[in-house]
C-alpha cells in the first residue's frame, strides 16, 4: 500500500475496519476475534488527527525557536559591533585593541567559505 498518499492511507485504514465489522462473528467462529482490531482501525482517524495536530504544533514551535535564535544572534552581533565602534571612539582607530577587533571580523569574512568557524592553524612538525 506504499503507493497511496497519506489521506488515502487513512481512508484505507477506516475502510478495512468497516469491512471487517459485518464479518466479526464469522471471523470469531473461525478462531479470529477481530473486535479489538476493528475498534482500532475504525478509530484510527481520530488518533491520526491528534498526531497530525501534535506535528503541526511542533513545527510551529520549531519555527518560533528558529526565529528566536536568529533574533538573539542578531542582537548580540549588533552589541559586539557597537562595542568595536565604542572602543574605536575611546582609544582611537590606530590603537592595538581597535586594530585587533577590526581584524577579527575581517578574518571571519575571509573564512566564510570554509564553514562556520575558521580552520585551525596547521600544526608544525617538531624533529
| H or E stretch at 111 | none
Residue indicated by cell numbers 485504514: 13
pLDDT recorded at residue 108: 86
Higher pLDDT, 126 or 27: 27
pTM assigned to the model: 0.61
Could you give the 3-state DSSP secondary structure of residue 32? coil
Domain coordinates in residue numbering, the chain: 6-114
Residue 92 to residue 99: CA distance in whole angstroms: 9
Burial 24-41 (b: 16+ CB within 10 A, else e): eeeeeeeeeebeeebeeb
Residue 14 to residue 4: CA distance in whole angstroms: 14
Question: Has residue 117 got a pLDDT over 80?
Answer: no
Q: What is the mean pLDDT of the segment spanning 95-109? A: 91
pLDDT class of 1 with cuts at 50, 70, 90? very low
Amino acid at each position: 500500500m506504499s503507493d497511496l498518499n497519506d489521506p488515502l492511507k487513512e481512508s484505507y485504514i477506516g475502510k478495512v475496519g468497516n469491512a471487517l465489522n459485518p464479518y466479526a462473528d464469522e471471523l470469531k467462529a473461525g478462531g479470529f476475534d477481530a473486535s479489538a482490531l476493528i475498534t482500532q482501525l475504525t478509530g484510527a482517524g481520530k488518533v491520526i488527527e491528534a498526531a497530525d495536530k501534535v506535528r503541526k504544533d511542533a513545527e510551529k514551535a520549531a519555527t518560533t525557536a528558529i526565529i528566536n535564535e536568529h533574533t538573539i544572534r542578531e542582537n548580540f552581533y549588533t552589541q559586539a559591533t557597537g562595542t568595536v565602534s565604542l572602543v574605536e571612539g575611546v582609544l582611537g582607530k590606530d590603537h592595538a585593541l581597535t586594530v585587533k577587533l577590526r581584524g577579527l571580523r575581517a578574518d571571519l569574512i575571509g573564512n566564510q567559505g570554509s564553514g562556520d568557524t575558521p580552520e585551525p592553524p596547521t600544526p608544525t612538525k617538531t624533529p
